[in-house]
């Protein structure tokens, strides 16, 4: 029985068949298991901005990696246009955006022209889209439905709407998965980036529907004495539910 580490190192590199073509094993057993705190699987892939090594692309920034079912589809067009318009907001938070579908670079580039025509209000499209035609990334990040997992080997698959927020240490910090029929909420993606970065910086947690500037929660692991020293005033609703304002 191969150890999980050895299995992972085997899928990290593509295998090459007798015709010299790269292929990947898409076995369920060898698939990485992505959890909050896992290292984001690395990959080298073609994108609309050239070939990238994903970890090098992230560098010392945060990243949001998100997949789309297919090029030239209506919901995806609205999503990519909206994310592109919000690029300055992501830049301000030190976050690099990168999209994905399993079609090629030429198709993506043609589609970007449409996105710029109808969904970016005349702005240039702002970030790379991965051409995951080998489906390596879709497999490593499990961006497929139960049925399409079985089809990975056989042809084009439509990825679901996955979102991965990855920190500069390349750790997975948050995941979301939406079906093809439901477009994502760009404000929610920005909101969770704000919440994650604030939690890292200030050692707080954020309550339901929190947005920037609202009261935050003092984690139960912080004693009242430490909370006073760290945050000054705070409001105790229950011994385990304490709110404070950040300045
Ligand atoms: C869309 O992006 O519009 C879409 C893609 C696949 C299925 C349904 C909608």
Q: Are residues 164 and 231 in the same domain?
A: no
Residue 53 covered by a domain: yes
Strands 62-67, 95-101: pairing kind:
parallel
Q: What distance lies between CA 228 and its chain's CA centroid?
A: 36
Residue 1 covered by a domain: no
Residue 177 covered by a domain: yes
Question: What residue numbers bound the domain in which 213 lies?
Answer: 203-244
Which residue from 98, 93, 92, 89 is spatially nearest to 58, judged by alpha carbons?
98
Report whether residue 75 contacts ligand 1, using a CB cutoff of 6 Å.
yes
Q: Are residues 71 and 161 in the same domain?
A: yes
Q: Give the CATH number for residue 216.
A: 3.30.1020.10
Residue 59 covered by a domain: yes
How many domains in the chain? 2
Q: Are residues 125 and 156 in the same domain?
A: yes
Q: Are residues 174 and 217 in the same domain?
A: no
Report whether residue 145 contacts ligand 1, using a CB cutoff of 6 Å.
no
| Whole-structure pTM value | 0.91
Cβ atoms 159, 143 nearer than 8 A: yes
Give the containing element (helix H, strand E) for 55: helix 54-58
Q: Are residues 107 and 41 in the same domain?
A: yes
Report whether residue 143 contacts ligand 1, using a CB cutoff of 6 Å.
no
Q: Are residues 217 and 119 in the same domain?
A: no
Alpha helices in 145-207 (DSSP H): 146-151, 186-202
Distance 75 CA to ligand 1 centre (A): 5
Q: Are residues 89 and 210 in the same domain?
A: no
Q: Are residues 179 and 207 in the same domain?
A: no
Residues in the chain: 247
Which residue from 118, 112, 153 is spatially nearest to 27, judged by alpha carbons?
153
Which residue from 6, 111, 1 is spatially nearest to 48, judged by alpha carbons?
111
Distance 183 CA to ligand 1 centre (A): 9
pLDDT in tens, the chain (247 residues): 444 444 444 444 566 766 666 667 799 999 999 999 999 999 999 999 999 999 999 999 999 999 999 999 999 999 999 999 999 999 999 999 999 999 999 999 999 999 999 999 989 999 999 999 999 999 999 999 999 999 898 878 999 999 999 999 999 999 999 999 999 999 999 999 999 999 999 999 999 999 999 999 999 999 999 999 999 999 999 999 999 999 8
């Amino acid at each position: 029985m191969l150890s999980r580490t050895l299995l992972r190192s085997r899928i990290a590199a593509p295998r090459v068949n007798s015709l010299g073509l790269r292929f990947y094993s898409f076995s369920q057993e060898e698939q990485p298991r992505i959890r909050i705190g896992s290292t984001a699987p690395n990959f080298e892939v073609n994108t609309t901005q050239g070939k990238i090594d994903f970890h090098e692309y992230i560098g010392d920034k945060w990243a949001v990696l998100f997949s789309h079912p297919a090029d030239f589809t209506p919901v995806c067009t609205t999503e990519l246009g909206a994310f592109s318009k919000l690029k300055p907001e992501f830049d301000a938070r030190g976050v690099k955006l990168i999209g994905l579908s399993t079609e090629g670079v030429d198709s993506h580039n043609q589609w970007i022209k449409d996105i710029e025509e109808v969904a970016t209000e005349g702005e240039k499209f702002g970030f790379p889209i991965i051409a995951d035609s080998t489906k390596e990334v879709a497999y490593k990040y499990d961006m497929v439905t139960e049925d399409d997992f079985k089809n990975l080997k056989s042809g084009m698959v439509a990825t679901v709407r996955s979102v991965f927020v990855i920190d500069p240490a390349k750790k997975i910090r948050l995941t979301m998965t939406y079906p093809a029929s439901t477009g994502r909420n760009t404000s929610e993606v920005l909101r969770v980036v704000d919440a994650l970065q604030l939690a890292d910086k200030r050692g707080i947690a954020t309550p339901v529907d929190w947005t920037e500037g609202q009261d935050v929660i003092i984690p139960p692991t912080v004693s009242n004495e430490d909370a006073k020293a760290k945050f000054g005033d705070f409001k105790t609703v229950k011994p385990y539910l304490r709110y404070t304002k950040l300045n």
